Amino acid sequence: MKMTTELEKVIKNLNQLSNTEQNAIAALIQDELLWELTFKNSSKKLTGLAEEALEEYKAGKTKKTDW
């Protein structure tokens, strides 16, 4: 897959930064990609937990808190 024009511009600008700055940005991008993958892979689990919480709420098994 070919990079988009916008991503090519960003990469070109990144080449002007120091190695330390490039590594810091690379770490941020990698963290974001890992977060996206983790979130995508956990959506079924999160849906199940949300449904369980809603059922508990409807059954009166929850209580209001101040936080």
Position 67 in a domain: no
Q: Which of 45, 49, 67 is CA-nearest to residue 57? A: 49
Distance, in Å, from the CA atom of 24 to the CA atom of 28, rounded to the nearest integer, reads 6
Q: Supply the pLDDT for residue 23.
A: 97
Q: How many domains does the chain have?
A: 1
Q: Is residue 63 part of a domain?
A: no
Q: pTM (2 decimals)? A: 0.57
Domain that holds residue 27: 5-58
Name every residue whose Cβ is closer than 8 Å to that of residue 41 and which is 6 or more positions away in sequence.
Answer: none
pLDDT tens digits, 18-54: 999 999 999 999 999 999 888 888 888 889 999 999 9
What pLDDT does 64 receive?
Answer: 87
Asked whether residue 48 is domain-assigned, the answer is yes
**66 occurs within a structural domain:** no
